[in-house]
A = this chain, B = another copy of it.
Amino acid sequence: MRTAVVIGTGLIGTSAALALAGRGVTVHLADHDPDSARTAAALGAGTDEPPAGPVDLAIVAVPPAHVAAALADAMRRGAARGYLDVASVKGGPRRELEELGLDLSSYIGTHPMAGRERSGPLAGTADLFEGRPWVLTPTPGTDVEVLNLALELVALCRAVPVVMDADAHDRAVALVSHTPQLISSMVAARLEEADETAVRLCGQGIRDVTRIAASDPRMWVEILSANPGPVADVLAGVAADLDETVRALRALQSADDTKRQGGASGIEDVLRRGNAGRERVPGKHGAGGPAVYEVVAVFISDEPGELARIFADAGRAGVNVEDVRIEHATGQQAGFVQLMVEPSAAPGLTTALRERGWAIRQ
């Protein structure tokens, strides 16, 4: 790939353009707002001049509702050899394009699983996609040349290609992204009217469950509006479990032993299925099943430099810390830092840190 046009210079479009431009591809930038394209160009993402003729790849990075129109326009102009979009939903845009009667052999729908809290060209960064899954949804009618252009884009962005059917993709993101977002919001919504004293009892569990409830509502309305069916289907499954669980809890209030036992097994069932599902969530290193780390919990004060000293001491012990969680005492300035390490490394790390004067939780 030597030339590309990026249509839509928001976060995703600008980030892809920065990655391509940084690796020698000539990138032309277009946006319905010329200021946005000019900003992306000023950041080094390419030029906002139109190309003289057809480019190798046209990347459409506009909001889901405008994807089909932008693609159709570029295809009718013969802007490129291959066309792709990067919208977070894949079935709808493809069906819209089919209804427009376009030849879709030169088109492939894609979705990079990357994003951040900020939007717009200024939030763009060449490494946004590094190591992230980038879903490609070819069909039997997709030109191999176009699939290869898409794979080249993914490689230049240093992402990890994952091939899926468009509708399977939409069901997958409904399951692993859109449903958790809505459920997190619903749990957090329960706190809106809660007593201040109740809120004081919040611990790390609810903190984790509600973290993404802080997400931008407008962006999420757009995403969910493009994928309502699959999300509603997953939520209906959750709703059935929820109704069953409420029934089980009511049975636990019964005076009848048999009913109470039935309630307890209903509760245990949902907790056990939760265990099984959680085991399937990949650890941060992805493939290879769930990461199982040992936690070494070290007591720290809240002074600058304490964490540095711990990590320096762990480094001297030759131990690679795989993940970190700071477990601060509510309302206090001291707490524990949980170092997650390979189980084989935990005893050595514990000994090494103790020798250097750290208090380790047993």
Contacts and interface: CB of A to CB of B under 8 A. Distances in A.
Contact of A177 (B201, B281, B324, B327): B201
A205 B212 contact: yes
Contacts of A197: 162, 164, 168, 172
Nearest to A122: B362
A189 B242 contact: no
A205 to B, nearest CB: 5
A129 B264 CA distance: 29
A344 interface: no
A32 interface: no
Categorize the interface residue count of chain A: 35 or more
A175 B186 CA distance: 12
B221 A271 contact: yes
Interface stretch (A48-56, A96-104, A306-314): A306-314
Given A209-B180, A280-B194, A312-B308, A335 B131 contact: yes
User: Of A201, A214, A302, which is in contact with the most chain B CB atoms at under 10 Å from its CB?
Assistant: A201
Nearest to A279: B214
Nearest to A242: B239
A264 B181 contact: no
A348 to B, nearest CB: 12
Contacts of A190: 175, 179, 234, 237-238, 277
A183 interface: yes
Interface string A252-264: 1100000010011
A356 interface: no
Interface of A: 113, 122-125, 127, 130-133, 135, 160, 162, 164, 168, 171-173, 175-177, 179-192, 194-195, 197-203, 205-215, 217-218, 220-221, 224-225, 228-229, 231-232, 234-239, 241-243, 245-246, 249-250, 252-253, 260, 263-264, 267-268, 270-282, 284-287, 299, 302-305, 307-315, 318-335, 359, 361-362
